[in-house]
Structure 1
Amino acid sequence: MTSATARGQGTFADPDAWHRPAAYWFWHEPPDPALIRRQVHEMYDAGIRSFQIQARLSYPREGYLDEDFLTACRLAVDTASGLGMVVGLYDDYNWQSGHAAGRAVSGHDELRERHLFWIRLAPGSRAGEVSGIRSATQSLGRVAMEWHYEGGNVAWTDWRCEYVVAGGVERDAASVQVDGRAQGCRVTLEDTAPADAEVVVFVSARCATSRLVNPMDPVAVDRFIAAGYEPFARALGDHFGSTVAYLFFDQPHAVFYDWAERTGQQRSAIPYHHSLGDALRKELADDLPRALTALLGGADTEARSLRTRFYDHFSRHAQETFLGRVRDWCHGHGLLVSGHEVLGHVGGWNLDTAFSHWDLRVNFGLDHFGVDGYRDLTAVDAQDAVDQLSPVFGDSVARHHGRSGTLVEQYFLTPPPGGTPWSGHWGLSLRELRATAMTHHLRGMRQMIFHGFYQTHGHGHDHESLANPRFDFPPGINFEPWFTGHHARFALESARVSEFLEPVRPRTHVAVLYPLRTVWSEGQCARQASELGQWAAGLSSAGVPFLLIDERDLAAAEARDGALRIGDRSFRALVLPATTTLRSSRTMDTLRDLLAAGVPVVASGPKPEVYEYGPQTAGTDWARLGASVTSLDTVPAAAELPGLFPAPAQELSVRAPSDSVPSDSALRVRAGTDGRGALRVALFATAGTGTEATVDLPPGDWIVEDWEPATGQRQTIGTASSTLTVALADQEVRLLRLHAAADAPGTGASGPAHVPSRFEGSSMTAATVLDSGWHLELPQEAHTSPGTSRPIAVTAGWEQQGLDTFAGIADYVREIPASGIPRHLELPAVAGAVEVLVDGMSVAAAGWPPYRFILPGRPSPGAERCELRVRVAPPAANRYYAGTGLRAGPEPCGLLAPPVLADAATESAMTNDDSESHHA
C-alpha cells in the first residue's frame, strides 16, 4: 500500500485534495448538526479540502468516543464525502497518541505506562532512593496535568528491581529490597556488594494515575487500538479507504520523567516492559550489564559503543511494538498511515531547537528514518512562521523510502516580544501564512495541515492557556477576519505550487548524514545537534541543494562518475556533521570508495572514533583516509559554501545576481527534473524589495513555459539557452517548466533570456499620493453609532487612532476624480488583506504584496468623481488579546502609509518620493 493509491488525479489548474491545504478541526464541545454542516462547507469554500477532527482539552473528556461524538463525526464525514473531500482520522484526544482520553487503561491498571529509574550507590553504600519525580507535563499547567493524570496528580505503584550492576557485573535483583511509595522508592542491598565498586540499581514502577498506556507493552498497545480506533471503525468503516483515507498519529510517547537523584547523560526515565527486557537480554547478552551502566555516562569508546547498541535495540523494539501494530490495524482496515513523532528540530534548524529538556532518545530512539518506514504518508510538524529543518527532513525520509514530499502540521506558539508563552499568534496575517507555506513547499512540503480550524473562538472571562480554546495554540484560522474573503486564493495558489512540484526530482548536490548513532552515543544535545543545524541552514541560505541521508542509505550506495548514488538520488558530496559514531567499519569502507570515485567527503567538528559493532578501530580507520577528506573544525559561513560545493558544470542550477550567495531572506528555490526530463524551477522572493535569479541551464535550447499559480494558466513565453534570468517582486512566486526545443519543433518561440516580474512595467511619470480626505467606516459591532464613519489618517494604523481593541473588517473611503482611462492604485504598506471597490464595484483583492490594483476608467458615465473604498481585513490580535495582559500592546491594523494613484499607461512601480508625484 502506497500513498499513490490514495491520491486522485489532480491537475495544475484544478489540484486534488492531497495538494490543497488541510486543517485540524478543533472541537471544543459537542457540536450541533447545523454547525457541523456549516463549518465543513466553510472549509471547502475557503479551499481547505481535507480535515482531521481533533477533540481538544476543553472538550468533555468523558464524551470522547461516546455515541454523540461518533454520530457527530459521522455527520462530518458524510458531509465531506458529498463534497469530495478527504478526511484523516486523528487518532486521539488532544495531541499525543496513546491514551484514548483514558479509555485504554480504564479497568486495565496493569497497562498504564511503566518507567525504568536508576539509583547510583557509591562504594560502600547500601541504600538509596528515587524521589522528587517530576512529570514533563507539569510545564503545561493544571489543565494538562488533569488531562494526563487522574486527579491531576502523579502517583507510582508496583515498584520492582529489574537490574543490579556492580563493577560492570550483574548481580541478583532479588538481593535488593524495594520499599515503594506513591512518590518514589527506597532500595536497600541485602547482600554484601564489592566495597570498592559503585552499584547501580535499576527499578521500574507503574504510574498508577497516568491515562497513557505503556508504549513498550504489546498488550497495552493492542488495548489502545481497541479502545481508540475500533469505535471509529464501527462508526465510519464504510468510509474507510475512500473519504476517510488515512490515520494520523501525533507524537506518540510516554511522558518524560526526571527525579531528584538522577545523574548521568540519560536525562529521562526510560519506558519499560519485560518484553523490552527480554529483547535486550537476547540482543546484548553478556554485554547487557555494561550497556545499562553506559546509559548513565562514560566517554570511553566501549561505553559509547554499548550506549549506541542499547538504543539501536530499544528504538527497533519501540517502533515495532507501537507503530507496527498501528500500521497493521490501519492496513487491515484500508487506511494509509501518517503522523509524526516528537521532533527536536521543530521551529529551527538545530536538532535540539525544541524539547531539549527531554531526552528524546526514549521516543523511538530519535530514529526518524526508521519511524518513516511504518508510514505511507510522511508527516512532520513545523512551529511558527520561520524557515526550518522540518520540511527538509520530512522530504528526506520520504525519499529514503521511495516517496516524495511531506505533510506539514503547522502551528504557532512563540509570541511576539512582550507576549506571554502559550498565548499563540492571533496576529497571524495571510501574508505571513502564505510566505510560510511557500517556503515549506520549496523545502519539501506537499500539503500544509493548519493547526487549527476552530469550532468556537473560546471566551473572554479567563485567559488560561489550553483550557480556554481562545488560547489553545491560536489562531483559529476561521476566526481571522481575512479568512472568509481571502483564504481561498491562497489555498488554490498553494495547491498549484504543490502540484507543480509533485513530479520534481530535486537537485541534490550535497548529502548531509543524519548522525543517528552519534545522537545515541553522545546525547541529543551534543555538538552534532548544532553542527547539523549550521550545515542545513548554511546550505539553504547559500542555495546549495541538499537532502539528509541515513547511514542505511550509505550501506546501499554506489560511487561512480564522481557521484554518490542512492536509488534515484545523486549527490556530488557528503557531509558528516560532528559525527563520532558509525555502525561499523563497513561505513568507513563506503567513505573510502566515495573518495576513490572523486566524491568529496567533508567532516566538521569531532570526527569518527567509535563503532557500534566490531573492533574499535574507527579512529585509526578514519586517520587512514588522510588528506583526501576535507576536515574542518567548524562549519563554514554560508558565503563560503558555493565555493566548497560548486554547482556541477552543464547542470541545472540557480543563483543570485553576479554569482553572489542568495540570501536566505531574499530567495527560496526548488529546481529539478520531472518524469519527462523537463526542467522545473520554482522561485519565491522574500526580500521586501524584490530580487533576481539566474538559472544556469544544461546545454541546448529550452522552451520556457510559465505556469501561473494564481490563475492556473500555462503559456510558452519563449526560448532560452545557457542562462535565464528571472526578476521577482517581493512575495512573488514563479513556476517555470523548460523542455528541450527538439521536443516541440516548429513552435516559433523566440527569446527571451530574461523573464520579467509580472509586476514590472514602465517607469512612473506622475502619481497622486492620497494622503488626506479619508474616513473609516466600521461595522455595527465596533461602533456606537451604526452607519457612521470617522476621519482617519493613513500614515499609521487605526490601532493608534483610538481603535486599539478593534480587529474587524473596516473600509477606508474617499472620493477621487473620475478618469476616462484605467489607473493604477498601490498600497505601499498594509496590515491585513484588502479588497478595493470603486463606486461599490469590487475591482480586485490581495492578501499579500504587491498591493497593486488596476482601477477601471470612468465607472459612471458623466460622473466627475467616484468613490474609492479600500476594505481591510486585519489579523484578529487586538480583539482577542485586549485586556488580557498577554501582549505588550496592540498590533498594527489597516493602512500604514498613504495609497498612491497613477495613470495605468504610465505607471507601474510607484513611489511616494517621485519628483513628479503630488498630494491630494
Structure 2
Amino acid sequence: MQQQSHLERPGEDIFRKPPHAFMPSAYWFWHSVPDEATCRAQLADFKAQGFGTVLIQARLAMPVTDYLSAPFIAAYRCAIAIAAELGLKTGIYDDYNWISGHAGGRTVAGHDHLRERHLFWSAGSDRDGEISGIRPPFVDGMGPDIVAWQYEEGRVEWCEWSIEAAILSATTAPHDPEQIVEVTLETRIVSSDATGCRFAFDGAVPEGHVLTVFVSARSTTSRLINYLLPEAASRFIEVGLEPLIEPLRAFVPDTLGFVFYDQPAAGFYRWDQISGHLGNSLLFSQALPSAVEAETGLSFAKALAALVHEVGADTARLRAQFFAAYSSRMNEAFFGTLRKWCERTGIALTGHEILPHVSAWSLNGGFTSIDPRVAPAVDFFGVDAFRHETAVDANNFIPQLAPKLGDSVARANGRSRCAVETYASALRTPVRAAGQWELTLETLRAHVIRLHCLGMRQHVWHGVYQTDGRDDDPTPFTNPRFDFAPGINFEPWWPYHGLFAEESARLSAFMEPAKPLAPVAIFYPLYTAWAEGPRHSHARHVGAWCEGLLELGCDFMFVSESDLAAAKVSNGQIEAAGLTFDAVVLPSVTVLKSDAVLQSLDRFGEDGGRVWSSGDLPRTCCEAKTGSSSVLRSTHSADAPTLQELAKLVSDLPDRGVTISATMPRRPWTWIGAEPDGGWRVVVFNDGDDPGGCEIAFNSAMRCEMWSPADGDIAALADCDRLSVVLEAQELRCFRFLPAAAAGQCASTLSSLPSADGISTVLDGVWNFAVDGGPASASLSVDAGWEEQGFASFSGTGFYFREIAIETEGEWLLEVPEAHTAVSVRVDERLCGRRGWRPYRFSLGRLAKGIHRLEIAVSNTAANRYYRNTPYQGDMQDPSGLTAPPRLVLLQES
C-alpha cells in the first residue's frame, strides 16, 4: 500500500519523538541536602531512563529545619541548572513532604492567626444550665509519624475557644427552620484549655428539645493553614514559593514551568461529642457566616443546624448550599490566590486535591475514614477551573476512577487529559508507607497503559529516590527505604525503565490528536454529594456504572451540572464539554443546583436520546430556573445496574462506525479516538496472562496503519473493514484508520506470533549461574527461582550461561517462558535483546552450526533484599530469575 504523506499524519513528529508533556515525570525524593555531584549523577540517570520532568520533593527523612534553608535553596538552584543543561523540564513541588500550604511550618511561624481554625459542635439534652463541652478534638486515623511532622512537638493543642452559634430545636419529627430558636447570646464558655472547652447555657432547655452549640478553636501547634483565608495562601507564597522562584527566574518558564500542589487539606478532626450528618470538623473563618447566609438565605446558626439535624423538607437544600458556599470560599482563597501568583510569575499551576476515590471506582471508596466535604475533595470541576493543567493521583496498580474523572474535569474546563501521580502502598503489611519493593516493570507498564486508556497524558511516579535508606530499620517515612516504596531507581530492573518510558510517551502522543469515542456521559452528582454525604448510594452507583461500562468496552466521561444544563441537543445526541454522547447516566442523584439540567435531559429524551438512572431520583432543586416542574424520562433501575442490565442498555446504543469485539475470554483494554477529519485511532492492550485477540470492525473499508509505540515505526497495512488482531500476553498495539477510496468488504488478520520451522530445543537441566558482584559461579536449575536455590535475599542481576549446540544453520529465536523480572540475552557476547515484560522472546539472528555461548541475564525486584529482617517480608519471598526452561526455536533454515 502506498505510504501516506507526512501532512496526512497528524502528530507523526510528536509520536516519533515525543516532547516532555508525554514523557514520564517523577518526584525526586530528597532525604538530605544533596551536593552537586549527586545532583549531576542522578539527574543524568533519570534522563537516561526516559524521564522528561522532575519535581524535587523534600521528604520526612530530611530535617524540617533544612527545608528552604540557604543550603537547600543553593542545592535546589544547582539541580535546576543541571536539569537545564540536560534538557529536562522541572516544576516546583510546593511543600515539605505533602499537604500544600504549610511550607514546612514557615507559613504559620510568627503568624499564629493563619493556623487552622475549626468548628466543633455538641448536641445534648442538657437541662437548666448544666455544663457541657467539646473534649478532646483528635486526628482520626493519622499515625504517629504524620502527627509528629504536622504538629509542633507532635502535640495537638487548641486555643481561642469561641461560641459561634447555639440553637434550641425539637427532638421530635423534622421541623421547619423557622421553629429553630437561636440562643447564641445565652451560651458562654466557662473554661477552656489546650485540649477542649466547657460551656454553659444560661437559659432552660424545654422538654423535648436539644441544645446544639457550635464552638470554634484555633490550633496552637498545627503547621497546617486555614484554607479559608486568602492571607494564608499569600503568606505561603511569600515564605514557601518565592524563596525558590527568585533565584531561578532565569529558568522560567523553559526549564522551570509550573508549581505542583499536593492534597491541600486541614486536619480531619473528630471528638467525643460529634454527632449528626457530618463526619469531621469544619474549617472556620470570620467571613464564612456571611458567605453561608448569602447562599442559604438563613442565619448562620440555622444553616448549621441542617448539618447536624434534620430540619424538614429544606434539609438537603440547606446542606448542599452550605457546602457550595464553604467550597467556593476555600477554592477562591487558596487556589485562586495561587493561580493569580502563578500568572504574575509566568508559570502554570497544577497539582491535585484529596481524591476520596483513590484506588477505587466508587466516589468515596478510597479514603473511607474521612468526610470529604470538609476539604477540597468533592468539587473537582470547580477546583480544576483554577488550574492550568489537570492532575490526579492513583494508589497502587489497579484500574481506578481518578484518570477518567481527571480527563473529564479537564475537558469541562477547556483542556483534555491529565497527569496522574502513582504511589504504592504496602499490600503485605498494615504499614502502608512500606510500599511495594516487589513491584515489577511489567506491573508498572500495564498500569500506565491502562491509565492512558482512561485519560492520562503524563505519568508522574512517586518517586525516584536520592538514597535507598538503611538496613535493619523498619521505621516508616524517616527510613527512606519505607517511604512509600519503591524508589524505582534502586530496583534491579531500573536499567530497563527507558524501554517502558519511550513506549509510554509514544502511546500518549499517538492518542493526542483524537477525542475519545465515549457514547455515555455520567452526571457528576456534586450537589447530591454535598447534601447526602459520602455514605449515600450515589458514590457506590457511580462505581457500578463505571466498572460495568468498562467491562463491556463502552467508554464514558463525566459531565458537570453546568455543562449538562447548557448542552446542545440534536439528532438524538447531546453535546457537552466538547464531546457528543448518546446516553446520560444519573447515578442515584437526589439533589441538583437547578432544574435546568432536568429540562435539558427532557429535551434530550424527546429528541430520541437515552437517559439512564439508578437508585434514588432527583427530588430537590436548590434553584428553580424555569419556574416549571420537569418530568424526567429515563430507563431506571432501583439498585445499581447489573452487568446484564448494562449490556442490554449498551446494545441499544447507535452505531458510531467502529466497534471492537473481543475474541478472548478476558476482554483486552481498548481506546477509540475520533480524528477531526473522520479518521480513527485505536489502542488495544492485553494485560492478561494468556494470548487472545479482538476484532476491529468498520462500516466500510478503511486504510490501516500500525503505529508502534515501542520504536516509533509506522507501517501501512492492507485496506480492510475488519481487522482481526492476535494479542500475546502484555502486548500493546496502536492503529490508525482512514476512509479508503475502494469500496467493498475485506478482512485482515494481524499477529506477532512467530512462525517456526518445527525445530526447537528445550534448554532444561542445570545451568551455570553467577550474580553481579558475587562469588564464582554456581550450578542452578532453571525450573525454580534462585531464591529457592541458595540466594534467598539476593536482589540484583543474575547471569545464567551455558553452551548450546546448533546443528542447523539458520535464523534462531530464544523463548524464555518464565522470568522474574527483566531479561537481556547475549550469544557469543553479542547483545540480542532486552525485555522488561512478557513476552520474553529474543531474535538470536543467524547462527552457524557449532557451539555457541548463551547468556541470559535476569534482574529481579529489590523486595528480597530490602524486606530482609523487617516485618514487611511476609511469609513469602519474591520469585527471582528463571522458573521454566528456555527454548530455542528455528525460524528459518538456511
State the TM-score, normalizing by the size of structure 1.
0.92
How far apart are 1:69 and its partner, in Å? 0.8
How far apart are 1:906 and its partner, in Å? 8.1
Name the counterpart of 2:162.
Answer: 160
C-alpha distance in 2 between matches for 1:51 and 1:344? 26
- Aligned partner of 1:334: which letter? G
How far apart are 1:290 and its partner, in Å? 2.9
What are the equivalent positions in structure 2 for 1:656-671 lying under 5 Å apart? Answer: 656-657=661-662, 666-671=667-672
Name the counterpart of 2:791.
Answer: 803
C-alpha distance in 2 between matches for 1:252 and 1:650? 44
Deviates more, 1:172-181 or 1:90-99: 172-181
Name the counterpart of 1:96.
Answer: 99
Which of 724, 734, 750 in structure 2 is aligned with 1:756?
750
> 1:510·1:575 contact (CA, 8 Å) conserved in 2?
yes
C-alpha distance in 2 between matches for 1:91 and 1:739? 45
Instruction: Output one character per residue of 1:95-148: Cα deviation in whole Å (capped at 9) or x when no partner.
Output: 110100000111111111100001113163633111132114x6332x321210
Which of 638, 643, 648 in structure 2 is aligned with 1:643?
648
Which of 557, 560, 563 in structure 1 is aligned with 2:567?
557
What are the equivalent positions in structure 2 for 1:366-381 lying under 5 Å apart? Answer: 366-381=378-393
How far apart are 1:600 and its partner, in Å? 1.1
Confirm whether residue 449 of structure 1 aligns to residue 473 of structure 2: no
What are the equivalent positions in structure 2 for 1:6-155 lying under 5 Å apart? Answer: 11-122=14-125, 124=127, 126=129, 127-136=131-140, 139-141=142-144, 143-155=145-157
Confirm whether residue 206 of structure 1 aligns to residue 210 of structure 2: no
How far apart are 1:700 and its partner, in Å? 3.6
> 2:127·2:204 contact (CA, 8 Å) conserved in 1?
no
Deviates more, 1:11-20 or 1:360-369: 360-369
C-alpha distance in 2 between matches for 1:311 and 1:611? 15
1:675/1:238 CA distance change after superposition, 3 Å: farther
- Aligned partner of 2:651: which letter? P
> 2:570·2:607 contact (CA, 8 Å) conserved in 1?
yes
Confirm whether residue 701 of structure 1 aligns to residue 701 of structure 2: yes
How far apart are 1:421 and its partner, in Å? 3.5
Deviates more, 1:28-37 or 1:822-831: 822-831
How far apart are 1:885 and its partner, in Å? 1.9
Confirm whether residue 740 of structure 1 aligns to residue 743 of structure 2: no
C-alpha distance in 2 between matches for 1:299 and 1:797? 66
How far apart are 1:741 and its partner, in Å? 2.3
How far apart are 1:518 and its partner, in Å? 1.2
C-alpha distance in 2 between matches for 1:315 and 1:704? 49
C-alpha distance in 1 between matches for 2:366 and 2:227? 22
> 1:10·1:16 contact (CA, 8 Å) conserved in 2?
no
Which of 471, 491, 496 in structure 1 is aligned with 2:501?
491
Confirm whether residue 505 of structure 1 aligns to residue 507 of structure 2: no
Name the counterpart of 1:711.
Answer: 711
Name the counterpart of 1:765.
Answer: 758
C-alpha distance in 2 between matches for 1:871 and 1:170? 78
Instruction: Output one character per residue of 1:773-824: Cα deviation in whole Å (capped at 9) or x when no partner.
Output: 31211122xx4xx3x1111111111111121110111101111113521211
- Aligned partner of 1:645: which letter? V
Confirm whether residue 548 of structure 1 aligns to residue 558 of structure 2: yes
Name the counterpart of 2:854.
Answer: 868
Instruction: Output one character per residue of 1:521-546: Cα deviation in whole Å (capped at 9) or x when no partner.
Output: 11112111111001101111110110
- Aligned partner of 1:716: which letter? A
> 1:605·1:632 contact (CA, 8 Å) conserved in 2?
yes
- Aligned partner of 1:539: which letter? L
Deviates more, 1:339-348 or 1:577-586: 577-586
1:365/1:455 CA distance change after superposition, 3 Å: closer
Task: Give the 3-state SS of the residue equivalent to 2:92 in structure 1.
Answer: strand
Instruction: Output one character per residue of 1:748-776: Cα deviation in whole Å (capped at 9) or x when no partner.
Output: x999732412x223366232111113121
C-alpha distance in 2 between matches for 1:170 and 1:755? 76
C-alpha distance in 2 between matches for 1:767 and 1:751? 39
How far apart are 1:283 and its partner, in Å? 2.8
Which of 634, 654, 657 in structure 1 is aligned with 2:659?
654
Instruction: Output one character per residue of 1:383-429: Cα deviation in whole Å (capped at 9) or x when no partner.
Output: 1110111111111111111211110001111314x675432100110
> 1:542·1:639 contact (CA, 8 Å) conserved in 2?
no
Name the counterpart of 2:374.
Answer: 362
How far apart are 1:686 and its partner, in Å? 1.5
Task: Give the 3-state SS of the residue equivalent to 2:651 in structure 1.
Answer: coil
Task: Give the 3-state SS of the residue equivalent to 1:612 in structure 2.
Answer: strand
C-alpha distance in 2 between matches for 1:845 and 1:463? 34
C-alpha distance in 2 between matches for 1:243 and 1:425? 32
Confirm whether residue 789 of structure 1 aligns to residue 782 of structure 2: no
C-alpha distance in 2 between matches for 1:66 and 1:630? 61
What are the equivalent positions in structure 2 for 1:720-735 lying under 5 Å apart? Answer: 720-721=720-721, 723-735=722-734
**Aligned residues with identical type, % of pairs:** 36
C-alpha distance in 2 between matches for 1:419 and 1:181? 35
How far apart are 1:288 and its partner, in Å? 3.5
> 1:539·1:641 contact (CA, 8 Å) conserved in 2?
yes
Confirm whether residue 349 of structure 1 aligns to residue 342 of structure 2: no
Deviates more, 1:116-125 or 1:490-499: 116-125
Confirm whether residue 631 of structure 1 aligns to residue 631 of structure 2: no
C-alpha distance in 2 between matches for 1:140 and 1:725? 53
> 1:719·1:751 contact (CA, 8 Å) conserved in 2?
no
Name the counterpart of 2:451.
Answer: 440
Task: Give the 3-state SS of the residue equivalent to 1:901 in structure 2.
Answer: strand
Name the counterpart of 1:678.
Answer: 679
C-alpha distance in 2 between matches for 1:420 and 1:194? 50
- Aligned partner of 1:816: which letter? I
Task: Give the 3-state SS of the residue equivalent to 2:209 in structure 1.
Answer: coil
How far apart are 1:642 and its partner, in Å? 3.5
How far apart are 1:350 and its partner, in Å? 0.9
* Alpha-carbon RMSD: 2.2
How far apart are 1:300 and its partner, in Å? 4.4
C-alpha distance in 1 between matches for 2:494 and 2:311? 55
Instruction: Output one character per residue of 1:138-163: Cα deviation in whole Å (capped at 9) or x when no partner.
Output: 6332x321210011010000111111
C-alpha distance in 1 between matches for 2:13 and 2:195? 57
Instruction: Output one character per residue of 1:537-589: Cα deviation in whole Å (capped at 9) or x when no partner.
Output: 11111101100111111111122100111142110011111111112222221
- Aligned pairs, number: 871
Deviates more, 1:628-637 or 1:110-119: 628-637
C-alpha distance in 1 between matches for 2:746 and 2:851? 42
Confirm whether residue 778 of structure 1 aligns to residue 788 of structure 2: no
Task: Give the 3-state SS of the residue equivalent to 1:885 in structure 2.
Answer: coil
How far apart are 1:466 and its partner, in Å? 1.1
How far apart are 1:293 and its partner, in Å? 1.1
C-alpha distance in 1 between matches for 2:430 and 2:206? 56
Which of 311, 315, 318 in structure 2 is aligned with 1:306?
318
How far apart are 1:287 and its partner, in Å? 5.0
> 1:506·1:670 contact (CA, 8 Å) conserved in 2?
yes
Name the counterpart of 2:585.
Answer: 575
What are the equivalent positions in structure 2 for 1:214-293 lying under 5 Å apart? Answer: 214-286=226-298, 288-293=300-305
Task: Give the 3-state SS of the residue equivalent to 1:422 in structure 2.
Answer: helix
Name the counterpart of 1:812.
Answer: 800
Name the counterpart of 1:386.
Answer: 398
Instruction: Output one character per residue of 1:27-70: Cα deviation in whole Å (capped at 9) or x when no partner.
Output: 00110110001111011000001010000011110111111111
Deviates more, 1:188-197 or 1:387-396: 188-197
C-alpha distance in 1 between matches for 2:528 and 2:822? 47
1:398/1:84 CA distance change after superposition, 3 Å: same
1:499/1:752 CA distance change after superposition, 3 Å: farther
Task: Give the 3-state SS of the residue equivalent to 2:558 in structure 1.
Answer: strand
Deviates more, 1:348-357 or 1:23-32: 348-357
How far apart are 1:374 and its partner, in Å? 0.6
Stretches of structure 2 that go unaligned for 5 or more consecutive residues are 1-10, 170-176
C-alpha distance in 1 between matches for 2:223 and 2:777? 55
